[in-house]
Chain A
Amino acid sequence: MQYNPGQRELTLKVVYYGPALSGKTTNLQMLHQLLDPQVRGRLMSLDTADDRTLFFDLLPVFFHTYGGLKIKIKVYTVPGQVMHHSTRRIVLSGADAVAFIADSQLSETRANTDAWNSMIENMRETALDPTATPVVLQFNKRDMPHVRSDADIDALRASAPHQIFTATAIRGEGVLETLCSLLQQAFRRVAQQHDVEATFGLGEAEFLRTFLERLAPAHADRLASLLAMGDAPRGGTP
């Protein structure tokens, strides 16, 4: 996070983490499609010829609040392949919030677990406090057979300290929900450290409303009701 009241600028960094091929890049591609070109820049993918992320994907999102604060959000993905360990760590460093994109398929349980552990370890290594950094969990690929059941995930929701979403990223389902929740938590974390509200009249509700205004009304309504639920969040810390 870079907060610069003098230049009226707030930059947030959110990172999509997860095992290889879980759909992190797909999430960003869908966000790129779903967001109004007024609020997002080009999607930058540093990848290989076969579409595997090599360094990262980056989707910049930016908008202005009524209080005149420029919000810049950098949405990154890390490369999931095991060999890109050090790159993951570099991209993760300094994140304000993390979306963990898990693959719902039962066969991927092991990969999910390994990636989760590596995320926690990398957070420690990059001086991110794993207990204080918000993590939003997305179970992707709900359209596939042999996935964790909805009942399973509901049970998890009741007990886990994280916001949990289901998604079929390839169809754009659950993608905006994950991002909005992620931004909400990232902002909440910033607001704990800086008095953005006093300086720019920007509270969490205002922040989210400004962002939602830039979305198509259908999305905005759906997300607004979701985030109203989120006003009484189930905590944000693992």
Chain B
Amino acid sequence: MTSPPPPPGPTTRASAVQESLTRPRAVDGTVLDKRVAMVDLIDADSFRDLLSSFSDLYRVGIKVFDDAGNRMVDVRVGNSALCGYLWEFGGTRQACTKLVTGLKNDAFAARDGLPQPHIVDCFTGLRYVVVPLVYEGDAMGRLILGPYLPADRPGLAEQLYSIDSRVERQRAELLLERVRRAPEDVIGKVLTQLGRVIDVVLHTSMRQLLTSQLHIMSVTTSYHELEERARQLREQNEKLQELDKMKSNFLATVSHELRTPLTSVIGYSEMLLEGIAGNLVGEQRDFVQTIKEKGASLLALITQLLDASRAESGNLSLQIVEFDPTPVLAGATTSIVPQCAKKKIELTVDLAPGLPVLKGDRDKVGNIVVNLLGNAMKFTPQGGRITLSAQRWSGPRPPRGNDCQALFGVPAEDFVRIVVQDTGIGIPADKVGRVFERFYQVDDSSTREFGGTGLGLAIVKSFVDAHRGEVFVESVVGEGSRFTVLLPV
């Protein structure tokens, strides 16, 4: 069994719209050139109402067929009883059928290319006028006015009674009284009026149809154009990202190439200091010591650069192990102990006993703390205080503002919380959000005064992120800053 074809009408039109929406780059003016059937153009119900009121006014029947022979309107007035009566007999029924077929289908004679109305006389002596409905030179359908009895006719045609002998004269003539008798000039007027009204209806409907179709088309076209623009932007963006990656790779390579010889410089300086090449005297020792120290801080800088560019290029690889954080944290403090002594900064270390075991990269976690302590050191003035503390902590991650956490709440998790607090210069409120950006300095003068690449905190952030942790800062200008790292257990 084959499935029936899809129904015509709205469904097909909807799918045409659908198709035009999905078709790429639709620029199709043919929407304007399509030939439209009258049924698609005119709302059948309103059209019927309109013609009914005409029919009521002039008391004549009106039928409208579209170009394909579909009946759109059929308003009967007065003649139903007579026609119904004649339908009862074989002969008259046959004649009636033949007449109606002709009314519906007979071609119009054309004059100067335009189809002309014609008159059809019924076998009863009643009359119809058949008028072509033409819109801008195109035949849209036909209008049939009638039947009416022309005013100059005395009554029913004699031939009626010979078509079928069962037709009773008295009965037929009684029924004829209900049929409209009309002089031709009245019929002419009705047709002129009707023609004008229908023309307006067709024009208005066509206008409406074209407006909506063009509206859809231009929206569709604009949509495709925007989509194309978006695609281009996406491609550009991808190119830029690739460029960014290449830049990071380049940086990583260069940093590596710088480190190797620098390590040698430091190594040979140490050997000199240890007297392997003979004892150094007086200023010689001081000079070599300076070479070693400057070399070491240069190496630290380069290492930071390398870390940052690795993190940025997505090449950060973690050596995941399970480890006890306590010795890692304690070890990290040793990096700043000498500087603390020099700046007379009091360093307090408060590690809660029995910190839970962490799963992560031991060196990177150490690095996080070293960088945070280094940052605190840098911005804390002489005689200040730095505190490193750590404890187990259960609670929600800080909200991120723009996601649904605010709506649905944040589940509590277990963390090792590491806090580095200083009594430094603090960070202004409007800058707090940016301190973890690469190369960001709260103000340019801080670079000159405090040195550094502005990479330390960015590295902290990327390492913390790699551990699916959180880092944030609270700060009061002039009083100090407090950096908190949460590492999930």
Q: Which residues of A contact B (CB under 8 A)?
A: 2, 11, 13, 41-42, 44, 46, 55-56, 58, 60, 62-64, 68, 70, 72, 74, 76, 84-87, 89-95, 125-126
Contacts and interface: CB of A to CB of B under 8 A. Distances in A.
A93 B31 CA distance: 10
A55 B219 CA distance: 12
Nearest to A68: B113
Contact of A94 (B30, B112, B136, B203): B30
B100 interface: no
Contacts of A68: 113
A207 B112 CA distance: 15
Contacts of B222: 85-86
A122 B435 CA distance: 50
B137 A86 contact: no
B211 to A, nearest CB: 5
Given A55-B215, A86-B218, A94-B30, A60 B137 contact: yes
B217 interface: yes
27 contacts: A11-B33, A13-B33, A46-B210, A55-B214, A55-B218, A58-B210, A62-B137, A64-B114, A68-B113, A72-B136, A72-B138, A74-B33, A85-B222, A86-B27, A86-B221, A86-B225, A87-B214, A90-B27, A90-B28, A90-B31, A90-B32, A90-B221, A93-B28, A93-B29, A125-B27, A126-B27, A126-B29
Contacts of A86: 27, 217-218, 221-222, 225
Contact of B210 (A2, A44, A126): A44
Interface in B218-254: 218, 221-222, 225
A70 to B, nearest CB: 6
Question: Which residue of A58, A76, A86, A91 has the most chain B CB atoms within 10 A of its CB atom?
Answer: A86
B446 to A, nearest CB: 49
B171 to A, nearest CB: 49
A87 B221 CA distance: 8
A49 to B, nearest CB: 14
Interface string B112-154: 1110000000000000000000011110000000000000000
Contacts of A70: 113, 137
A95 B33 CA distance: 11
Nearest to B26: A90
Nearest to A72: B137
A70 B215 CA distance: 30
Nearest to A87: B218
Question: Which residue of B27, B207, B217 has the most chain A CB atoms within 10 A of its CB atom?
Answer: B27
Contact of B136 (A60, A91, A125): A60
Question: Which residue of B112, B113, B203 has the most chain A CB atoms within 10 A of its CB atom?
Answer: B113
Contacts of B32: 56, 58, 74, 76, 90-91
Contacts of B211: 46, 55
Interface residues of B, number: 26
Given A56-B214, A86-B218, A87-B214, A62 B28 contact: no
Contact of A55 (B30, B113, B210): B210
A41 B221 contact: no
A90 to B, nearest CB: 5
Given A64-B113, A70-B113, A44 B206 contact: yes
Question: Which residue of B29, B138, B211, B214 has the most chain A CB atoms within 10 A of its CB atom?
Answer: B29
Given A64-B113, A70-B113, A44 B27 contact: no
Interface in B239-286: none
A7 B29 CA distance: 22
CB-based closest 8 A-B pairs: A64-B113, A93-B29, A86-B221, A62-B137, A41-B136, A55-B214, A60-B136, A87-B218
Question: Which residue of A55, A92, A126 has the most chain B CB atoms within 10 A of its CB atom?
Answer: A55
Nearest to A92: B29
A44 B207 CA distance: 7
B24 to A, nearest CB: 13
A63 B113 CA distance: 8
Interface in B76-129: 112-114
A220 to B, nearest CB: 17
A89 B214 CA distance: 11
Nearest to B138: A72
Nearest to A54: B211
Nearest to B199: A42
A126 B28 CA distance: 8
A203 B171 CA distance: 64
Contact of B207 (A46, A72, A91): A46
B77 to A, nearest CB: 31
Nearest to B202: A42
B136 A89 contact: no
A91 B206 contact: no
Contacts of B137: 41, 60, 62, 70, 72
Nearest to B200: A42
A68 B203 CA distance: 26
Contacts of B27: 86, 89-90, 93, 125-126
A78 to B, nearest CB: 11
Nearest to A46: B211
Contacts of A56: 32, 214
Contacts of A125: 27
B214 A94 contact: no
Question: Which residue of A42, A58, A126 has the most chain B CB atoms within 10 A of its CB atom?
Answer: A42
B21 to A, nearest CB: 14
Contacts of A13: 29, 33
Contacts of B33: 2, 11, 13, 74, 94
A228 to B, nearest CB: 26
A125 B225 CA distance: 12
Nearest to B207: A44
Nearest to A69: B113
Contacts of A90: 27-29, 31-32, 214, 217-218, 221
Given A58-B210, A93-B30, 4 more contacts: A41-B135, A46-B207, A56-B214, A58-B32
B266 to A, nearest CB: 65
